[in-house]
Chains A and B, each alone.
Chain A
Amino acid sequence: MAKNVTEKKVITEKKSNNLKRQGVLYFWSALFVAYGIIFCYIPLVGWIMAFQEYKPNTGLLGSKFVGMAKFTRLFSDPMFIRVIRNTLAMGVLNLVTTFTMAIVFAILLNEITHSKSKKVVQTISYLPHFLSWIIVTAILHDALSSTGIVNELLLKFGIVKQAINFFAHEEYFWPIVAFANVWKETGWNAIIYLAAITAIDPSLYEAAAIDGAGRWDKIKYVTLPGIKPTIIILLIMNIGNVLNAGFEIQYILGNGLIQQVSQTIDIYVLKWGISQMDYSLGTAAGIFKSAVSIVLIVICNQVAKKHGEERLY
């Protein structure tokens, strides 16, 4: 009896203590929420543009309301449906390739025991990140041209009889975009995983070695589980971004012959929205993208929750 009472007392004391102790947490939370509302949520007022025929001279307050007209226009346009397909396809392909490549690269790099070569390799690996798309795509275009290195190799090894015009065929475009992304971003994306790997307790590797684990076992049972929370968080965040498959690279690499597969939502918005002085259409497309993103991350988050994994919120 007496024991119970003291226990209860301890708990309530702990709670009030907690609240008092947590005062600083509440303080920061309030501050960050205020900041977030000002800089991230207030601008969302701009979303009413999607329901207007927005004109800069009349502004947000004075422009004519058109209801859902912009959305109806988007979804009744077969071209928009097609760019959604393209965006999704490239988004998923890019996600799968860049994501796995970054993890594989981080793990393999971590396996290099010679620390100098490790540093050199890593420094080189992230350099392409700093080249603009204009430059990277120019080099890629060059490499894939009829006299470029790729065709030269294919011809030399007799894989093809005649140079392939890679940019004239729809089926090559998505893989080329995925490759370009891998090429440019693998090293950069790996940085995060390398940081996560540093957090793994070295004694775990030693313990695994004592248990007779080989290299693959160590990767499988120590490294991968060690960076799993990071992988899952990044995966969920990136899944939310599949509709942001890009603009520049598709714009530069695309051409009339393959425009059916090369155009993304952002290109569509530029051509049919902004270039036509129709600012509202872009906002409507943006809202659509946001909605898809949020639905996707909610689903992923639920799945992660179900499996007891790390989750976004």
Chain B
Amino acid sequence: MKKKVVSMLLASCMILGALTGCGGGSSEGKSGGKSGDGGVKEFTAFFSVPGSEINDDNEIQQIIAEKTGVKVKETWLTGQTAEEAIGTLIAGGEYPDFVDAGDGSIQMYEAGALVALDDYIDKYPNIKEFFTDQEWDSLRQSDGKIYWIPQFSNIYGEERTCTHNDEAFWIQARVLEWANYPQIHTMDQYFDLIEKYAKENPTMEDGTPVIPYTILCDDWRYFCLENAPQFLDGYPNDGSVIVDVDNKKIVDYNTTDTAVKYFKKLNEEYKKGIVDPESFTQTYDEYIAKLSTGRVLGMIDQWWDFAYTAEDALKSAGLDAKGCQYVPLPITIEEGMSNQWHNSGGIVHTSSGLAITTSCKDVEGALQFVDDLLSQEIHDLRFWGVKDVDYQVGDDGMYKKTPEMRSNDADTAYKASHKCEYSYFPQWSGTSRDNKNAMKPEGQEQEFYDGLSDSLKKCFMAYGVETYVEMLGTTPAPGPWYPMYTYSQTMTTATPGGTAWNLMDECKHMYLPKVVMADDFDAGWAEYMNAYNACKPEDFLAEMQTELDRRISEAAKYSN
């Protein structure tokens, strides 16, 4: 027995020796565009956001590799915060070839980890075309050079949007149908309708009670409670402040009369039992679960936050036929105001983007790949997929999908093995270079409309529209400063304004639910305002004003 133990220990030590030997020996790195099998260059990329990895033998990735001679192994943020990930990356001094460091981009630049792109851009027509000179200039860092390429919201040709990807008051199509599609423009009308409907139809078919209105409040997702006052006043999603267009001044939307009215309304509805009493304690999963059962009549949220989960679940449960899908409403605080829930035009998110690091041994190859990704053929492969597998081409040259192709699009396993969007590389939205199709399927009007359920079609028809965006109407961005959140996002406690911003956030997290649940609204509001003012919001607003002025004067340089 004793011998057995000893010999086992010895044996395991020997295995160790053997295995570590081979483990150490095989530690050859394959970074920097080394040629792999078949002459395909392999690059690595790290994105400091969570994302889904695609399989190594992904079909479209293979096709792209054959056409461009390049394959990129993408890794995403896992179990760390972006700041930690970037911190260790810089400390280690070894980088992947491509990186999107998010808010850490500046740090990567300061650490000398990024390659300046200025000398290269002109050589690659598709990259050069991606931005106007003014936009390229807005990306220059303190040394006057360009280091990263923002990937998103860049529109080629005519803008094509069908879904309203952003925030809105949503309501189930069946509620509108029940009231014979009334015009709903104010919060009072909105809640009035919900109240009436809930009174007449207190339960679902299976007997579970409906939830008239719920508010998602989980962690950073509490924008569903917090930022409505800016929209209600007819301003767009600047995110952290309102910009008064007339006198170019920063306004704090947390303290406006509209904010008071909005929260007072929520408070009243809470007392009436219209607002879900679990609003402020539910988790995101629970919220999605509620939406997925079709019980929730209305809420404020951003489309992407529930569309790919709750909307899909509603469809799979057949609740789309019963009108449980959500439609956005153009709501403002007073009747007759114009709203900016939806803005047209792209946003250059200057604070971060795709960059190439100094560890990359083949910068030209890497940029050539980015250039290729922006060519129409590869772009179609990325977002539309393979012809006749993921989409069909009609006689008129328009791309369309069969119902089966649409259901494949929602299948996680299929996506991992087949689709390869290179989703954090630069990409276009808008109209394709063929002047017919949209760059991405979600912009293809006919395809979008064909994919709608009958109840939504009926609803849209009643309002004389064809897309979600038309439900709200659209206006261009108000000015060159838009959106201000690209600045507030980068603020840290290193400045008084950043400190105030974080304190305000903490304060609102705690007091806004209390205000909505307060027995005495006015007292609750006064208490909140006390705590809020103690956070020194004026510091934050002053820094925002400075940035606003800077952006306006920056833009003025190009106006003549």
Contact = CB atoms under 8 A, between A and B. Distances in A.
Contacts of A255: 217-218, 280-281, 513
A256 B513 contact: yes
Contact of B510 (A55, A141, A165, A257): A257
Could you say which of A256, A257, A270, A276 has the most chain B C-beta atoms within 10 Å of its C-beta?
A256
A276 B494 contact: yes
Contacts of A145: 278, 282, 286
Contact of A142 (B286, B502, B513): B286
Contact of A259 (B83, B218, B277, B510): B510
Nearest to B84: A274
B319 interface: no
A257 B84 contact: no
Interface string A90-131: 000000000000000000000000000000000000000000
Given A260-B510, A276-B498, A277-B107, A59 B278 contact: no
Contacts of B90: 56-57
A74 to B, nearest CB: 12
Contacts of A76: none
Contacts of B84: 274
A203 interface: no
Given A57-B110, A57-B111, A277 B513 contact: no
> Looking at chain A's contact residues, is the secondary structure mostly helix, strand, loop, or mixed?
helix
Given A142-B286, A256-B512, A272 B87 contact: no
Interface string A125-158: 0000000000000100110011000000000000
Interface string B495-516: 0001000100010111011100
A59 B83 CA distance: 15
Contact of A256 (B81, B222, B283): B222
A108 to B, nearest CB: 31
A167 interface: yes
A166 B280 CA distance: 11
A255 B508 CA distance: 12
A271 interface: yes
B281 A168 contact: yes
A278 to B, nearest CB: 7
A141 B493 contact: no
A165 B510 CA distance: 16
Contacts of A146: 277-278
Interface string B93-128: 000000000011001001110000000000000000
Nearest to A168: B281
Interface residues of A, number: 29
Contacts of B283: 138, 141, 252
A4 interface: no
Interface string A38-74: 0000000000000000011101000000000000000
A175 to B, nearest CB: 16
B278 A278 contact: no
Contact of A274 (B83, B285, B502, B513): B83
A275 interface: yes
B492 interface: yes
- Secondary structure at the B interface, as helix, strand, loop or mixed, is helix
A279 interface: yes
A272 B493 contact: yes
Contacts of A275: 81, 83
A256 B278 contact: no
Contacts of A274: 81, 83-84
A256 B86 contact: no
Nearest to A141: B283
Contact of A55 (B107, B278, B512): B107
B82 to A, nearest CB: 9
B1 interface: no
Nearest to A281: B493
A259 B502 CA distance: 14
Interface in B44-98: 81, 83-84, 86-87, 90-91
A138 B110 contact: no
B366 to A, nearest CB: 22
Contacts of B222: 256
A57 B281 contact: no
A56 B510 contact: no
B379 to A, nearest CB: 35
Given A57-B107, A146-B278, A276-B502, A256 B510 contact: yes
Interface string B261-286: 00000000000000001101111011
Given A56-B86, A57-B107, A146-B278, A256 B285 contact: no
A311 B41 CA distance: 60
Contacts of A277: 83, 87, 103-104, 107, 492, 494
A59 B91 contact: yes
A260 B531 CA distance: 14
A278 B492 contact: yes
Contact of A56 (B111, B509, B514): B111
In the A-B complex, the 4 residue pairs with the closest CB atoms: A57-B111, A256-B509, A56-B90, A167-B281
6 contacts: A79-B506, A145-B282, A255-B218, A256-B508, A256-B513, A276-B493
Interface of B: 81, 83-84, 86-87, 90-91, 103-104, 107, 110-112, 217-218, 222, 277-278, 280-283, 285-286, 492-494, 498, 502, 506, 508-510, 512-514, 517
Interface of A: 55-57, 59, 79, 138, 141-142, 145-146, 165-168, 252, 255-257, 259-260, 270-272, 274-279
Given A256-B508, A272-B493, 9 more contacts: A56-B111, A57-B112, A138-B283, A145-B278, A146-B278, A165-B277, A256-B510, A274-B81, A276-B498
